[in-house]
Amino acid sequence: MGEKMHFSELDQYLFGQGTHYDIYKKLGAHPTTQGRKKGVYFAVWAPNAQSVSVVGDFNSWDTEANPMVKAGPIGVFEVFVPGAKIGDLYKFFIVGMHGEELYKADPYGNEAELRPGTASKVADIGDYKWKDSTWMKKRVEFDENTDAMSIYEVHPGSWRKHAVENEDENGFYNYREFAHELAKYVKDMGYTHVELMGIAEHPFDGSWGYQVTGYYAPTSRYGSAQDFKYLVDYLHRNKIGVILDWVPGHFPKDAHGLANFDGTAVYEHQDPRQGEHPDWGTKIYNYGRPEVKNFLIANALFWVEECHVDGLRVDAVASMLYLDYGKQDGQWVANKYGDNKNLEAIEFFKHLNTVVLGRNHGTVMIAEESTAWPKVTGKAEDDGLGFSLKWNMGWMNDFLEYMKTDPYFRKFNHNKMTFSMTYAYSEKYILVISHDEVVHLKCSMLNKMPGYPDDKFKNLKAAYAFMFFHPGKKLLFMGQEFGQLREWSEERELDWYLLGEENHKDLQSFVKTLLHMYKKYPALYKADNDPEGFEWINADDGDRSIFSFVRKSPTKRNNLLFVVNYTPVERSDYRVGVPKKKQYKLIMDENGLLEKPQTFKAESKECDNREFSFAYPLAPYGVAVFTY
């Protein structure tokens, strides 16, 4: 006999406190048996609704067929519908506080109808048979402070596409096909993680998934919720971590979405000065409301615990932290101390990160935070926000400004490349070149580079080399590894045909070398957050636009000396100062790994303010990596 599902007093108490961490197992649509009848249990939170009923394929969308009953004072409505089944489309028909008639998709639904449809779809996400136990056991030991992490940022719908016969088809890869193609590529290249954009259900392709209507539903563009689990599972079995973009900062106003859910502001602030982003045309969550906070925190746990995801990259953190973000005077309301900090959002982040990371050791919470807010990766108990890592937007801006500059003028911008080391240990950083840098007329990475085509490739190799040897985890957006020429567009696949050309193939091979080298040498990741792990040899060679530094391994073995020349001028008699009178083995240059590494012996000759040095020829746009 099936036990009757019910939103109990305990459920109501925890939800009202904002601590019902598996609320998604109660709210939403759940296939079950009651008595001897198979059907679906539906539950929805609509605190100010006059009445709610569920409509769908199972009752011919009749608003009177399945009225829902209020379970206690908190405003949750529930009903069991015999005969409703997996695959049925449904919505909640809500009569709002002022008599509005609203048809809403399920905020906790696990699948959605393919756009432009807006209904939710009954799904059973519980019965997937995971095969990634080896990964999950090992994950517990992962430590982002001392482990390698190189992330390939991917938008599944435009990474690769099938050729299509007619315009109605999208050519999307299904999650399962995508899993196999992506795993093969990422493994070969040597990335440790993928970061997937636009997985939660969203109505508009052009939002890239940053305007979410289905927080608990992997988008149906690429298949079912089960298919999505297969993708994560398969990547794990290939030793690849999975990070998702996650958007708790705002949500769109679509009629079937969260906005004005029961005719009143349920998820958002009522006052538009607190509840709307004027620039984005979206709603802002009310982080002070326990049930809203619960919706979001349980959602993070849903992806991590139910879907085995290894981390979340939290979008637009700054927009949540500052009450006046993107607003003019008169468009925002100060906090109780009269300033612009969103105290409720700060509290939300501390709660979120403590719970997610506390319950799931070895996972990461990553902040995309674009200001100098202190202690983003500091512990919550020390008044930090509790994130594991933070995108280094300052480094990215300075780095790209420098690389775009004509080599002749780089000498006047030398500090753009050295400045990041003055704050490198204030947070735990990821160096990022994300999708944001290659859209909206910002040019692809290759086309940001100065000079003729040949120079562009040389510049870009020298740029990537610097990125991989600089302290911090790494993230590179898809297509930039082989020199995509056009800006990225979600509407078409990457220009893979470019790999038929020698210089694109060569660039891809160079990035692959960097990725494998990064994993091979602990000097490049073990001491990212330890000032002992990095030392400038010469940070002041602006006139020649040459940078030299060492990355030190905690074991003292296989330390690396890195030199890069950012002008097209050859330095045939270049001399570099070194920390010790040892032998230095040249293992890599601007062409990649050397088949026969060359050995250079340090002499007692002063250079770069050091008593030992050696000379060797440094090529135009030359890169040199030595082990010692």
* Catalytic center residues: 315, 368
Residues 380 and 390 sit within 8 Å (Cβ to Cβ): no
CA angle 274–276–281, rounded 5-degree value = 170
- Residue 121 bridge partners (DSSP): 89, 111
- Nearest in space to 155 (alpha carbons), one of 580, 571, 582, 492: 492
What letter represents residue 167's amino acid? E
Give the integer Cα–Cα distance in Å for 52 and 223: 30
Give the integer Cα–Cα distance in Å for 133 and 309: 13
Give the integer Cα–Cα distance in Å for 85 and 402: 58
Looking from the CA of 397 toward its CB, the CA atoms found within 13 Å total: 7
DSSP-assigned letter for residue 331: S
The pairing of beta strand 28-34 with beta strand 37-45: antiparallel
Q: What is the 3-class SS of 398-454, one letter each residue? A: HHHHHHHCCHHHHHHHCHHHHHHHHCCCCCCEEEEECHHHHCCCCCCHHHHCCCCHH
What token pair was written down for 461? 């190799």
DSSP string, 588-613: EETTEEEEEEEEEE-BS--BTTBSEE
Give the integer Cα–Cα distance in Å for 315 and 43: 29
What letter represents residue 504's amino acid? H
Give the integer Cα–Cα distance in Å for 70 and 76: 6
Q: Which helix (H) or strand (E) holds 30?
A: strand 28-34
Give the integer Cα–Cα distance in Å for 477 and 474: 10
Give the integer Cα–Cα distance in Å for 213 and 105: 8
Q: Which helix (H) or strand (E) holds 283?
A: strand 282-283
Helix/strand/coil for 24: helix
CA angle 70–75–80, rounded 5-degree value = 40
CA distance from start to end of the chain: 71
DSSP-assigned letter for residue 286: -
- Nearest in space to 20 (alpha carbons), one of 311, 285, 387, 355: 355
What token pair was written down for 415? 């500090």
Give the integer Cα–Cα distance in Å for 528 and 472: 6
Give the integer Cα–Cα distance in Å for 265 and 333: 17
- Nearest in space to 154 (alpha carbons), one of 205, 199, 194: 194
